[in-house]
Amino acid sequence: MLAIVIDDSRAMRGIIKRVLKGMGFDTLEAGDGQEALAVLAKSPRPDLALVDWNMPNMNGFEFLKTIRADNAFDDMKLTMVTTEIEMSQIALALEAGANEYVMKPFTEEAMRDKISLMGFCQEAA
């Protein structure tokens, strides 16, 4: 399984990658949506994307809309991982094609649960 972690915080990318590795994922990473599109153009298609909302250059919501407009990524699950807690923001992301929504700060257990809800196994085989 392959995941991409898109967040402008290197520390947050590291935390999320550690959770994903514990679940058996290989990971790619990017610091914003534009960088993520460049990474995706030259990498195998990930099974999962975990995307921060507030980033420079291309924010997570813009990335979400861009990726959901490309049929090549129809099977990729996408989770917004963000400090945005307004119900209207959550609804907007889900309507635009996000599969799940995780609010920062989160626990490792909460992140594992959200990823499991999308059909991925809890622990590495």
pLDDT score of 123: 57
Say yes or no to pLDDT of 124 above 50: no
Q: Is residue 41 part of a domain?
A: yes
The domain in which residue 53 lies consists of 2-117
Mean pLDDT taken over the chain: 93
Model confidence at 85, pLDDT cuts 50, 70, 90, reads confident
Number of domains forming the structure of the chain: 1
pLDDT score of 43: 95
Alpha carbon distance 24, 86 (integer Å): 32
Q: Is residue 122 part of a domain?
A: no
Q: What is the pLDDT of residues 18-65, one digit of tens each?
A: 999 999 999 999 999 999 999 999 999 999 999 999 999 999 999 999
* Percent of the chain whose predicted confidence (pLDDT) is above 70: 97
3-state secondary structure of 83: coil
Q: Could you tell me the pTM of the whole model?
A: 0.93
Other CB atoms within 10 Å distance of the CB of residue 11: 8
The CATH number of whichever domain residue 26 belongs to comes to 3.40.50.2300
Alpha carbon distance 38, 24 (integer Å): 24
Is there a contact between 46 and 73 (Cβ–Cβ < 8 Å)? no
